[in-house]
């Protein structure tokens, strides 16, 4: 055997989530041959438009605002609230019509030993929380990376603004910002949008991430994300951010966008930083779309939980993770918590680095 298939498998441990990843290039064709064959993003049934042309039946489109759940804010702000549905907008933040957690529920009381336990260590509480949607554009045919850098930056600033609002609620401990693109990545609407969930607890993956980064900091005296050892995993860099394929990427062509200066909280991003990040994010999404045939993907913002102690801040470093959905998670991954990746990060980074977009 020659080429990629002849490379020896390798196991690597991730220094942020603490996961082991097995890189096995023999399980795939050449990295450049890896493409998505997933169905297109879901879209509601079309209805006749002007001239008889199909028009998407989409409540996220401009002019359909009253079909949505209540609006929280829009960009630009509406000068006359009574004219909300008719006024122009670029971004709308609304309540989710089908929320996973409910804002009108009673926030859970502070945990007490044994209270509400179904079995030792188990606990059930009312499903209180906030579940919001960020509609990134009024146009149905525009994807996030079709916007210019300023447009993407405005979406990021809308995320940060809403996170700061939710931070004011005493029962909200963490806000997960995320985007699902494509049916197999969890999107139920084709219109470009993202979501955020404010929870009354710190999710276990967040706790695991912080504990892993704390371990590295105590052992080596530095933050896991403030520097990376190999330029071979670098895809692109701006004044404020680096885009890399992480050393122990769990997924093929996974990308992390990391602030170059240590920063614990995403919601502290300012306008200049958002513009810089918007430029890099749209470039990375365009590269993935071009190289992988517009794959389904998820992206997530990983930040510090609200109220983290000052002793945690030296090792908590926020970043944005992009995960193209190119393979199916199987029994080994579910059972072991380890992942199998057919593409070495250095190979994926080289392909993306050399791709013009």
pLDDT tens-digit profile of 263-318? 999 999 999 999 999 999 999 999 999 999 999 999 999 999 998 999 999 999 99
Helix (H, G, I), strand (E, B) or coil at 190: coil
Q: What is the mean pLDDT of residues 343-351?
A: 96
Return the closest-CA partner of residue 300 out of 346, 254, 331, 353. Answer: 254
Check residues 194 and 110 and name the one with the higher pLDDT. Answer: 194
Q: Which residues are paired to 95 by β-bridges?
A: 132
Angle between helix 271-292 and helix 345-353 axes, rounded to 10 deg = 100
Concerning whether 302 is annotated as a catalytic residue, the answer is no
**What SS3 string covers the chain?**
CCHHHHCCCEEEECCCCCCEEEECHHHCCCHHHCCCCCCCCCCCCEEECHHHCEEECCCCCCCCHHHCCCEEEEECCCCCHHHCCCCCCCEEEEECCCCCCECCCCCCCCCCCCCCCCCCCCCCCCCECEEEEEECCCCCCCCHHHCCHHHHHHHHHHHHHHHHHHHCCCCCCEEEEEEEECHHHCCCCCCCEEEEEEECCCCHHHHHHHHHHHHHHHHHCCCCCCCCCCHHHEEEECCCEEEECCCCCCCCCCEEEEECCCCCCHHHCCHHHHHHHHHHHHHHHHHHHHHHCCCCEEEEEECCCCCCCCCCCCCCCCEEEEEECCCCCCHHHHHHCCEEECCCHHHHHHHHHCCCC
- Cis status of the peptide bond prior to 352, with omega within 30 of 0: no
Question: What span, in angstroms and rounded, lies between the C-alpha atoms of 242 and 119?
Answer: 45
Percent of the chain at pLDDT above 70?
85
Q: Please state which of the ranges 52-66, 74-88, 121-135 shows the lowest mean pLDDT.
A: 74-88
CATH architecture of residue range(s) 4-28+57-106+126-354: 2-Layer Sandwich (3.30)
Most confident segment among 123-127, 183-187, 196-200:
196-200
Write out the binding residues for Zn(2+): 58, 61, 140, 191
φ/ψ region of 64 (left if φ > 0, alpha if ψ in -120 to 50, else beta) reads alpha
Q: Which pLDDT does position 26 carry in this prediction?
A: 73
Q: Which pLDDT does position 227 carry in this prediction?
A: 79
Write out the binding residues: 58, 61, 140, 191
Q: What is the pTM of this model?
A: 0.89
Supply 337's token pair.
């918590």
pLDDT above 70 for 119: no
Helix (H, G, I), strand (E, B) or coil at 9: coil
- Cis status of the peptide bond prior to 76, with omega within 30 of 0: yes
Q: What is the mean pLDDT of residues 185-197?
A: 93
Q: Which pLDDT does position 37 carry in this prediction?
A: 64
Question: What span, in angstroms and rounded, lies between the C-alpha atoms of 18 and 25?
Answer: 22
Marked catalytic residue, from 193, 267, 302, 317: 193
Q: Which pLDDT does position 79 carry in this prediction?
A: 66
Check residues 25 and 47 and name the one with the higher pLDDT. Answer: 25
pLDDT above 80 for 162: yes
Q: What is the mean pLDDT of residues 111-125?
A: 64
Q: What is the mean pLDDT of residues 233-243?
A: 96
């Amino acid at each position: 055997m020659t080429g990629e298939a002849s490379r020896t498998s390798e196991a690597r441990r991730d220094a942020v989530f603490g996961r082991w990843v097995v890189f096995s290039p023999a399980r795939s064709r050449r990295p450049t041959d890896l493409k998505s064959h997933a169905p297109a993003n879901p879209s509601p049934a079309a209805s006749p438009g002007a001239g008889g042309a199909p028009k998407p039946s989409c409540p996220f489109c401009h002019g359909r605002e009253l079909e949505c759940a209540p609006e929280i804010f829009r960009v630009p702000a509406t000068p006359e609230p009574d004219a909300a549905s008719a006024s122009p907008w670029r971004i709308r933040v609304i309540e989710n019509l089908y929320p996973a957690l409910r804002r009108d529920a009673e926030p859970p009381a502070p945990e007490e030993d044994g209270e509400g336990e179904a079995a030792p260590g188990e606990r059930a509480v009312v499903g209180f929380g906030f579940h919001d949607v960020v509609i990134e554009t009024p146009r149905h045919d525009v994807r996030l990376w079709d916007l210019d850098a300023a447009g993407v930056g405005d979406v990021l600033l809308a995320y940060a603004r809403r996170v700061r609002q939710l931070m004011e609620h005493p029962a909200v401990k963490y806000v997960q910002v995320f985007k699902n693109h494509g049916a197999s990545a969890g999107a139920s609407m084709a219109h470009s949008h993202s979501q955020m969930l404010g929870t009354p607890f710190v999710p276990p993956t967040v706790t695991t991430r912080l504990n892993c980064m704390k371990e590295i900091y105590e052992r080596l005296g530095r933050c896991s994300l403030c520097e990376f050892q190999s330029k071979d995993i670098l895809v692109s860099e701006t004044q404020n951010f680096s885009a890399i394929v992480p050393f122990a990427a769990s997924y093929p062509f996974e990308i992390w966008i990391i602030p170059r200066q240590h920063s614990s909280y995403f919601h502290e991003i300012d306008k200049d930083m958002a513009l810089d990040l918007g430029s890099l994010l749209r470039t990375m999404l365009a590269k993935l779309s071009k190289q992988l045939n517009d794959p389904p993907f998820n992206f997530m913002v990983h930040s510090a939980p609200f109220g983290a102690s000052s002793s945690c801040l030296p090792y908590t470093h926020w970043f944005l993770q992009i995960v193209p959905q190119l393979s199916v998670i199987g029994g080994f991954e579910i059972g072991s918590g380890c992942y199998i990746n057919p593409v070495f990060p250095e190979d994926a980074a080289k392909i993306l680095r050399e791709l013009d977009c």
